């Protein structure tokens, strides 16, 4: 098994759940960035349940994905954020910018509801 893997799971209403496995770091972020650039869902949820660690480069790539979604009118969320990654978000003060949910299901319910009403 490689150090980092990504997998797309299709959710309801055309949402894409991007499941990340492994540390998201400068060494591993290119696979993540390439995948985010190739998909164009109305809702993108990053499932971080399998990410034990993220460095500043990984955080930058997540912020880039968020900014891309904002520019193109798509919804974005983080799900299953570990305490370690939450600390990184808080220390860098992006915890108030990036929408996050306790689970993929909670993110889907909230974001798909907003997409329908938009």
Q: What is the pLDDT of residue 95?
A: 97
For the chain, which domains are there?
5-113 (3.30.750.24)
Element (H, E) at 64: helix 56-71
Closest residue by Cα to residue 75 from 113, 105, 38: 113
Chain segment 91-112, per-residue pLDDT in tens: 999 999 999 999 999 999 988 7
Chain segment 18-50, per-residue pLDDT in tens: 999 999 999 999 999 999 999 999 999 999 999
Non-local CB neighbours of 94 within 8 Å, separated by 6+ positions: 59, 63
pLDDT category, 116, cuts 50, 70, 90? Answer: low
Q: pTM for this one?
A: 0.91
pLDDT category, 90, cuts 50, 70, 90? Answer: very high
């Amino acid at each position: 098994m490689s150090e980092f893997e990504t997998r797309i799971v299709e959710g309801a209403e055309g949402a894409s759940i991007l499941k990340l496995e492994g540390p998201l770091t400068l060494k591993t972020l290119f696979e993540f960035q390439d995948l985010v650039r190739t998909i164009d869902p109305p809702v993108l949820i990053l499932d971080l349940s399998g990410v034990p660690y993220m460095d500043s480069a990984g955080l930058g790539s997540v912020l880039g994905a968020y900014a891309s979604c904002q520019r193109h009118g798509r919804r974005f969320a983080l799900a299953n954020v570990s305490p370690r990654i939450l600390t990184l978000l808080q220390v860098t003060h992006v915890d108030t910018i990036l929408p996050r949910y306790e689970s993929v299901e909670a993110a889907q319910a909230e974001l798909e509801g907003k997409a329908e009403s938009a």
